[in-house]
């Protein structure tokens, strides 16, 4: 990547059309950010501390928790700094790093949801061969592939964006260094980067969504063939949490794409929902109705309380 720019610092102008609401948004987003970090950290602790949860489903769920914490941490700290009145200045290198990790982790999340749908497909449709198909080596390959694909995807978009010269103005009309907002400031024609970026992101999301739909169509067919009501309910309960999470992720994105000309405020709301709200509710979705996760969390807290009591007695 060649830096042919005269701009050394960008200024993030923040969320569109929210002047005068900084204090309210600061309280709301800081609360969501803290809950997202705490919830995913607790879920990750429960999975790693309980041998019963060392299964493919929870292995991918751990990757999802790590990705969620990284995804919200990519944009939230700078946004909270701007809302607290410290200014929206970000260095050129900081903008490059923020852009890279936003698209890298966003791509990883997209692939993880697809891999988790495949995991549920194998568990429901091929229960007797599940442990053979989803063995440790396959899980590691799938997880590594998602992270490597995210890096490749983000590298392409970041190189396309920041190889262009930026000689002013330096005000980004958004709350983080997203590709469309930054490309508007380029001193040369950015139409190629815009087309490649839109096609890359759109095609990636579409392919993942299509694979998820195919997986759950096969799952639905298999569940419909189960004769007992209890068996159908048990099979559906293993997929309900993942389906809810997918609807929270793809639902807002579909709303954006159905709009011919979405407003900047609507686009910002959708991205904030995916950046902060979804990482906050994912731990709740995967733990509230999951007896194994709740039991693991209780065990962790009881063990911690007992160790504190022993230390106090000593």
User: What CATH number is associated with residue 273?
Assistant: 1.20.1070.10
Instruction: Examine residue 5 and state whether it is found in any structural domain, yes or no.
Output: no
- Answer whether residue 71 shows pLDDT above 90: yes
pLDDT band at 314 (very low <50, low <70, confident <90, very high): low
| Confidence (pLDDT) at 5 | 47
**Strand 89-91 to 9-12 pairing:** antiparallel
Instruction: Examine residue 7 and state whether it is found in any structural domain, yes or no.
Output: no
- Of 102 and 257, the one with more pLDDT: 102
HSE-up (13 A, CA, CB side) for residue 313:
6
Per-residue tokens: 227: 């004769």
What would the mean pLDDT of 27-40 be, rounded to a whole number?
A: 93
Instruction: Examine residue 4 and state whether it is found in any structural domain, yes or no.
Output: no
Number of separate domains in the chain: 1
Instruction: Examine residue 6 and state whether it is found in any structural domain, yes or no.
Output: no
pLDDT band at 310 (very low <50, low <70, confident <90, very high): low
User: Percent of the chain at pLDDT above 70?
Assistant: 91
Burial class (CB in 10 A: 0-12, 13-18, 19+), 257: exposed
- Of 237 and 137, the one with more pLDDT: 137
Instruction: Examine residue 1 and state whether it is found in any structural domain, yes or no.
Output: no
For residue 44, give its domain range: 14-312
Note whether 6 and 168 are within 8 A (CB). yes
Note whether 125 and 219 are within 8 A (CB). yes
Instruction: Examine residue 3 and state whether it is found in any structural domain, yes or no.
Output: no
| Confidence (pLDDT) at 168 | 74
- Answer whether residue 227 shows pLDDT above 90: no
Instruction: Examine residue 188 and state whether it is found in any structural domain, yes or no.
Output: yes
Instruction: Examine residue 2 and state whether it is found in any structural domain, yes or no.
Output: no
Among residues 147, 2, 129, which one has the least CA distance to residue 63? 147
């Amino acid at each position: 990547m060649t830096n042919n720019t005269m701009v050394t610092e960008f200024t993030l102008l923040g969320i569109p059309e929210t002047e005068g609401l900084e204090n309210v948004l600061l309280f709301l987003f800081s609360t969501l950010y803290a809950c997202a970090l705490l919830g995913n950290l607790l879920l990750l602790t429960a999975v790693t501390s309980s041998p019963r949860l060392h299964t493919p489903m929870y292995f991918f769920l751990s990757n999802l928790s790590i990705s969620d914490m990284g995804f919200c941490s990519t944009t939230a700290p700078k946004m909270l700094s701007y809302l607290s009145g410290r200014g929206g200045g970000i260095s050129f290198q900081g903008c490059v790093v923020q852009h890279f990790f936003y698209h890298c982790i966003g791509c990883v999340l997209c692939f993880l949801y697809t891999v988790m749908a495949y995991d549920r497909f194998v568990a429901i449709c091929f229960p007797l061969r599940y442990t053979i198909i989803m063995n440790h080596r396959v899980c590691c390959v799938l997880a590594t592939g998602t992270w490597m694909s995210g890096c490749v995807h983000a590298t392409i978009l970041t190189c396309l964006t920041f190889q262009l010269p930026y000689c002013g103005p330096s005000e980004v009309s958004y709350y983080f260094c997203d590709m469309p907002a930054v490309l508007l400031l380029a001193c040369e024609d950015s139409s190629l980067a815009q087309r490649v970026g839109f096609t890359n992101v759109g095609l990636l999301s579409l392919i993942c969504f299509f694979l998820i739909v195919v997986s759950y169509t096969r799952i639905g067919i298999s569940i419909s063939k189960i004769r007992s009501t209890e068996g159908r309910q048990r099979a559906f309960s293993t997929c309900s949490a993942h389906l809810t999470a997918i609807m929270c992720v793809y639902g807002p994105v579909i709303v954006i794409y159905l709009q011919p000309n979405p407003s900047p405020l609507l686009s910002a709301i959708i991205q904030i929902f995916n950046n902060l709200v979804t990482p906050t509710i994912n731990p709740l979705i995967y733990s509230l109705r999951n007896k194994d996760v709740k039991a693991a969390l209780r065990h962790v807290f009881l063990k911690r309380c007992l160790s504190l009591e022993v230390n106090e007695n000593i």
